[in-house]
Chain A
Amino acid sequence: MNLIVEREKGPLQELETRIATLRQRGSGSSGDVAVLEEKYRELLSDLFGNLTPWERVHMARHPKRPIAGDYLAGFDQLDELHGDRHFRDDRALVGGFARLRGRRVVYLAQQKGRDTKENIRRNFGMVSPEGYRKAKRLMELASRFGLPIVTLVDTSGADPGIASEEHAQSEAIAACLIALSKATVPVVSAIIGEGGSGGALAIALADRVIMAENAVYSVASPEGCAAILWGDSARAPEAAERLKLTSTDLLGFGIVDRVVKEPLGGAHRDSEGFVGVVLDAIDQELAALADTPAAILRENRYAKFRRIGAWEQTYVAAMATALT
C-alpha cells in the first residue's frame, strides 16, 4: 500500500471530480472553478506540503511517478544498444546513443515497468550483472567516442537473486565503479525515483549528481534497515528518518549537487513538465562540464568523492601530495 496514493483518495479526489464537472459545464461557472481550485491548492499543500522522509519514500515509489521511459521520451533521439556481449540483454538497465537538447550523449537508465507485465520483463528495475556489464561496456564506449554520459537512477537495489550471485553481481557493480572512475568524459547522473544502495551508485559515480526533490537515495531500504537493526521491518518509518535519505539531507552532505523541485503533491502531478525541467537541468550541467579537459574532469571527480567522510588531516595530506 502506497501512503501517497491513499492520501490522494477522499477529499482531494472529490474536489478533483467537482472541478472537472464544473469545467465541463463551461461558461458561467468560472468563478466557482477558481474558488474550488484555490481550495484544491490549499488541500494539496496541507496533504503534501511537508512530507516526512518515510512519505518521500512512498512518493519515490508512487505508481504514477515518471519513470526512466518517460524521461527518455523527452530526448531528441534515441538509439538503444543491447546486451553485455556475453550472455543476455538485461531489460532493467537500458542504454545507448542519444541526442539530448541537441547534444550527443551516451545514456544509461534503470527502467522500472508501469504495469505488472512490464515490471516482470524489467525485473522491477532491479539490475542483474548482465545489465551492469552492458553499462560498463557503454561507459567505455562513451569515453572512446568522447560522448558525455547521462544516467537515470531508479532502482530499489541490484537484483539479489541466485542467478545474479552465480554471475558475480559484486564484480559487475565493482567494474562499473572502476569504469566511471576512468571515464574521460563528463558524467551527469539524475536520481529520479529510488536510489537503492550499491545498485544505484554503480551508475552514479558522477561529476554532477542531480536529484528530484522527492526521490530517495539510501545505503539500505528503510524496511531492510529496520529488519536488521530492530528485527522489525514495521519500524521502517523510523529507519527512513534516521538514514538521511532525502534530497535535502544529501544536498547538505555534498553527496548531491543539485535538487530539482517537484510540483506540489509530487512529480506525477505534472509528469511531462517535470521531466522537461530535469532534462534541462541535465543539459545545463553537461554544458558547464563540456569544455573541461579530461585530466581536470577526472581530478575533480576524484576530489568530489575523496572528501566525503574524509578525515581532515589525511585529506589535507592527500591533497598536498596530489599538488606536488
Chain B
Amino acid sequence: MPMPDWLRSLREKDVPAEDAALWEKCPSCGEMLYRKDLEANLSVCTKCNYHFRMHAYDRINSLVDGDFVVIGDEIAPGDPLEWTDKRPYTQKLESDREKSGLSEAIVTGFATLDGFPVALGVMDFSFRGGTMGTVVGERVTHLLEEARRRKLPCVIFTASGGARMEEGMLALMQMAKTSQAVERFMADGNPYFVVLTDPTTGGVSASFAFQADLIIAEARASIGFAGRRVIEQTLRQKLPENFQTAEFLLEKGHVDMVVTRAEIRSTLVRMLDYAVDRKRIAPTLKAVPEFALQ
C-alpha cells in the first residue's frame, strides 16, 4: 500500500539523518532494530515479538483502506484551570505537540476497513500519557455523535494513563460525557468495538473503553483500573509479572479476545463482517461524502 498523502506530509517533517535515529533498541530482548524494518513490522520487534507503543497515525495507516478523513481536529486544548506544576500546562501541551506531531491525545475521523465505513478513534500515549482531558472527551463524544448520525460502526483504540490531572474535575466529567454518548450510540443498535492497547487505565478504562460490544486487547498490553505502582504502594507488595496484562484479563474473563498487532486489522474486519451486513455498506458509504467520491 503506498503511503497516503496525509501520512507523507506528516513524515516529511522528520529529519532522521543521524545514525542513532536509524536504530531502535528493543527494551525486551535488547536487539538493535533497523527503524525501517521495525516500522514495516508494525513496530513489533522482529526478534522477540515485543510490541512497541505505536504512533496514532502509524496505527491508522495499518488499518485503513485508503484515506482517513479527520474530524474534530479543530477541537483544541485550552487551559481551564490555568495549571502549573513543574512547568505550565500550556508549555507541556506545546512540547507534546512538537514531540508527537499530534494536536491532542486522540485522533478521530472516518475511514473504510476492507470496504466497511467506520468512525475511528485512535489514542496516542505519547501525548500527555494519553490522558483524557476536555479535548479527548469532546473528540470521543463528537465521534460517537457523528457516527450515530451516519449509522456507522465505531472503533476506538485506547491508550491512556487515565483522567488528565491538569484539567481537574473538568477532565473527570469527561467520563460521564463519553459514557452518555456511548449509551446513545449503542442504544440505536450501532456496533461499538474497542481495542485496548498498552496501557489503558483509570478514567478511560472505567468509561468508554469497557462499555463496548466487543473488547479486544492487544497482546501483552497493560490494562487495569488502578495503576500498577499505586497498587504496589498501597499494598506494599510486589505484584506478579502478568498482573493486569491482556493475557491475564482474558483468563479472568474481562475481554473478548487477545490479538497480536499483526492480526488486529483482519480480526476487526471479521468482526465487522458479523456485525454489519455487507449488503448494507453502500448506503452508509454515502454518509461520508469523501468516501462516495472514491
Chain A contacts to B: CB under 8 angstroms: 158, 160-162, 164-171, 173-175, 177-178, 181-182, 197-198, 201-202, 205, 217-220, 224-225, 228-230, 242-245, 249-250, 253, 255, 301-302, 305-306, 308-311, 313-314, 318, 321
Pair B170/A198 contact, Cβ less than 8 Å: no
Pair B179/A181 contact, Cβ less than 8 Å: yes
The 8 A-B pairs at the shortest CB distance, nearest first, are namely: A309-B134, A160-B226, A177-B179, A169-B225, A170-B205, A181-B183, A173-B206, A174-B210
Q: Quick one: given A201-B175, A245-B168, are A309 and B137 in contact (CB under 8 Å)?
A: yes
Q: Quick one: given A201-B175, A229-B86, A244-B168, are A314 and B72 in contact (CB under 8 Å)?
A: yes
A160 to B244, alpha carbons, bound, how many Å?
Answer: 12
Chain A contacts for B203, CB-based, 8 A: 197-198, 219
Q: Quick one: given A160-B225, A242-B83, are A308 and B142 in contact (CB under 8 Å)?
A: no
Q: Quick one: given A198-B175, A229-B86, are A162 and B225 in contact (CB under 8 Å)?
A: no
In the assembled complex, the CB of B133 is this many whole angstroms from the nearest CB of chain A, namely 7
A294 to B201, alpha carbons, bound, how many Å?
Answer: 33
Beyond A174-B206, A198-B207, A219-B169, 6 additional contacts (C-beta under 8 Å) are A171-B254, A182-B187, A201-B176, A219-B163, A243-B81, A243-B168
Pair B165/A165 contact, Cβ less than 8 Å: no
B231 interface hit (Cβ, 8 Å): yes
Q: Quick one: given A162-B239, A314-B138, A321-B145, are A309 and B206 in contact (CB under 8 Å)?
A: no
A interface footprint on B224-245 (CB within 8 Å = 1, 0 otherwise): 1110001100110001000110
Pair A166/B252 contact, Cβ less than 8 Å: yes
Pair B173/A162 contact, Cβ less than 8 Å: no
21 contacts between A and B (CB under 8 A): A161-B231, A161-B234, A161-B235, A165-B244, A169-B226, A170-B225, A171-B254, A178-B182, A197-B172, A218-B168, A218-B169, A229-B86, A245-B169, A253-B170, A302-B184, A306-B180, A308-B173, A308-B177, A310-B138, A314-B138, A321-B149
B85 interface hit (Cβ, 8 Å): yes
B96 interface hit (Cβ, 8 Å): no
A175 to B253, alpha carbons, bound, how many Å?
Answer: 16
